[in-house]
Amino acid sequence: MRRHVNIPVFVPHLGCPFNCIFCNQKKIAAPNGVVSPEEVSRIIDEHLATVSDDAVVEVAFFGGSFTAIEQELQEAYLARVAPYIEKGRVKSIRISTRPDFINHEILSFLKFWHVETIELGVQSLYDEVLKASCRGYRVCDVFKACHLIKEYGFKLGIQLMIGLPEDTYERSQGSACIAAQLKPDMVRIYPTLVISGTRLEKMLISGEYQPLALEKAVAISADMFLIFNYYDIEVIRMGLQPSEELRSEGVVRAGPFHPAFGELVEQEVFRRQGEKLLSEGLNLSYKGEVVFLVNPRDVSKMVGYKRENIDFYRKELGIKVKVKPCPLIDPDDIGMSFDGERIDKILSRTSFLQDVQRICHS
Ligand code: SF4
């Protein structure tokens, strides 16, 4: 299989007339100022020098609202990528933007310049949450933008945030269910962090805002991850990239920041799936040892960070669980064995996901 390589170009806050309460793009993405079109070529060259010729390369303009930048500058950026596309060195372009900066004219322009994927910073599909975060658009704008993007044949990405003011557990789940109905090609889930210099920081200090605890953020994200799994929509990232800037002292003031947030979420999903398998496959009185057989790829997710899942089964259910890699088990499935060799029962991810349907239809 050909390797996929993403070349990120950050265009922080550029052209964005908004001031979302959680955003301080300058601090997160580019402390050294705005990237120039010339620098785009340099960034691409630098990356290409380390990438094999047969890799599938995509240039990704991230960090702001690309289509809100003045069109001349958008064109200057995109024109810098065009020669690489013509030579076949870069395959496509990805941009991220706001739902209210999408229309026919913008989409025709992006199509002309070889943009293939548009990621929308949707954040929530509840007007109350969007309003409280000063996003400046409504849910109906998101629907319009998503339909139009798909109509034009772009790949659609949706970014959602959890833990914003006015957000609740139910609304996060609801946002995931509604987003799934919009049939995106990919999704990102970000827990809200309080970044210094933002209005959210002021709200934190005044006591108006309480961030999610890490454990809760992981649990909510796990529910959303399962919803997207059920609808066969790829979750390409959970949690912000732990960049150097984000990890610098004083940047994240509060909130569920963890450098391996996505891993924690997947570990939580395995824990729940394992718990269900135990409840289906064991007598309540069983207190012996059980071996979980998982695909070699999934061992660390099944065991958990610092053996958290194993400890959970022991402490909460009184069951001693061991985990063994088994190539016969498909990724995301869990097999149960009493002797560590014979597979006595399997709970596939597909079967485990059956409950999700109920969540989205309730
Ligand atoms: S629209 Fe994007 S770049 Fe602009 S303030 Fe909001 S989050 Fe930041």
**Is 279-361 a domain of CATH 3.40.640.10?**
no
pLDDT greater than 60 at residue 161? yes
- Average pLDDT, integer, range 290-307: 97
Residue 15's pLDDT band, with cuts at 50, 70 and 90, is low
Residues comprising the chain, all counted: 362
The residue whose C-alpha atom lies closest to atom 2 belonging to ligand 1 is: 64
Measuring from atom 7 of ligand 1, which residue has the nearest CA? 23
Q: What percent of the chain has pLDDT above 90?
A: 80
Q: What is the pLDDT of residue 247?
A: 84
CB of 19 shorter than 6 A to ligand 1: yes
Q: How far apart are CA 139 and CA 148, in angstroms?
A: 14
Number of H helices, E strands in the chain: 15, 13
Distance 55 CA to ligand 1 centre (A): 32
For domain 4-259, the CATH superfamily is: Aldolase class I (3.20.20.70)
Q: Does residue 98 have its Cβ closer than 6 Å to ligand 1?
A: yes
Question: How far, in Å, from the CA of 118 to the mean position of ligand 1?
Answer: 16
**Ligand 1 atom 8: residue of nearest CA:** 23
The predicted model gives 330-346 an average pLDDT of 96
What is the per-residue pLDDT for 10?
86
Assess whether the C-beta atom of 133 lies below 6 angstroms from ligand 1. Answer: no
Q: Whose CA is nearest to atom 5 of ligand 1?
A: 19
- Backbone phi, then psi, for 170, in 5-degree steps? -65, -40
Residue 29 confidence (pLDDT) above 80:
no
Assess whether the C-beta atom of 254 lies below 6 angstroms from ligand 1: no
Q: How remote is the CA of residue 49 from the centroid of ligand 1, in Å?
A: 32
User: What pLDDT is attached to residue 63?
Assistant: 78
Q: Which two three-digit tokens encode residue 304?
A: 């958990």
Domain boundaries along the sequence of the chain: 4-259, 279-361
| Residue of 87, 146, 80, 65 lying closest to 113 (CA atoms) | 80
Q: Residue 297 C-alpha to ligand 1 middle, in angstroms?
A: 37
pLDDT tens readout for residues 223-260: 999 999 999 999 999 999 888 778 888 899 999 999 99
261 pLDDT more than 80: yes
The average confidence (pLDDT) of the chain is 93
Q: Is the CB of 65 under 6 A from ligand 1?
A: yes
In contact, 287 and 254? CB cutoff 8 Å: no
Closest residue CA from atom 1 of ligand 1 = 18
Confidence check: pLDDT of 13 > 70 = no
What is the Å distance from ligand 1's center to 112 Cα?
25
Token pair belonging to 324: 């063994």
Q: CATH topology of 4-259 equal to that of 279-361?
A: no
